[in-house]
Amino acid sequence: MVSAWLLPPGSLRVPNGYPMTTSLSLASELERIASALESDSSSSSEFSLASIAERIAKNLGVKPDEVALMGVSNRWRHLHFLIPESLKHVGFIPLSSTSAIAARTARESRPDIINNLAGIRHATVFEGVKIGGETSEIIQKMISAPILSGDKVVGVIQVSRKGANPSVAGPDFSADDLGKVLALCKPLGKLLQHVAGDS
């Protein structure tokens, strides 16, 4: 069983304005926010994907810029970045791409742990983009998982470790890390339906 991690009091706020409590896991809180958005869609402006990404990063021991959330556009048949915000206007990833791990994750609806990313063929175009004015680093390790709404893939979450080489990047991702990510995929799916839509 995946252990729940707790949030500091008042660190995030649900749409009704009440702070998140420390007694619930992030997955439970995401469910609560999604329910609030279903009953009041105008409150989506109070919700921040960046705050959620920061919590995911903290839980998995990575930096905030090592968490990416992408939405699926069924209309245009591509993935577009939601987080990091600096990648929102850089470009998109065609779902047909054979070299993009995110596209494969979306097409096959299958999670992956890749602890030797530099050693396998993959698209690297977004790795070269500076985030927050800092020099970009190579992604060495990654978890890639589909974000689901029911059985439908509505997005992809990728958590990475960056660095000059695998040892500098940090420890390998484990099955426990993957479990933490997968626990968030369905609640994130409900949220993406409200905050991202289908562009």
Tell the residue number behind the tokens 């591509």, with chain if given: 78
Within 13 Å of residue 184, how many CA atoms lie on the same side as its CB? 30
Of 130, 148, 160, 127, which Cα lies nearest the Cα of 191? 148
Please name which of 79, 124, 87 lies closest in space to residue 106, comparing C-alpha atoms: 79
Sign of CA dihedral 167, 171, 112, 104: negative
Instruction: Region of 37 please: left (phi>0), alpha (psi -120 to 50) or beta.
Output: alpha
User: pLDDT tens digits, residue range 126-170?
Assistant: 665 555 555 568 899 999 999 999 899 999 999 999 999 999 999
Structure confidence by residue, pLDDT tens digits, 72-118: 998 989 999 999 988 988 889 999 999 999 999 999 999 999 999 98
| Helix, strand, coil percent values for the chain (each to nearest 5) | 40, 25, 35
Rounded to whole angstroms, the Cα distance separating 88 from 78 reads: 13
Give per-residue pLDDT as tens, 46-68: 668 899 899 899 889 999 999 99
**Contact (CB, 8 A) for 174 and 135:** no
Q: What's this model's pTM, rounded to 2 decimal places?
A: 0.81
Q: Is 18 exposed, middle or buried (0-12, 13-18, 19+ CB in 10 A)?
A: exposed
What stretches of 40-133 show up as alpha helix (H) in DSSP?
Answer: 49-60, 101-108
Which of 14-23, 32-41, 83-92 reaches the highest mean pLDDT?
A: 83-92
DSSP 3-state of 5? coil
Check pLDDT > 50 for residue 20. Answer: no
Hey, CA dihedral for 73, 120, 64, 176, is it positive or negative? positive
Q: Is the pLDDT of residue 16 over 60?
A: no
Query: Which one is predicted more confidently, 33 or 169?
Result: 169
What does the pLDDT read at residue 1?
Answer: 34
Domains of the chain: residue spans and CATH: 26-195 (3.30.450.40)
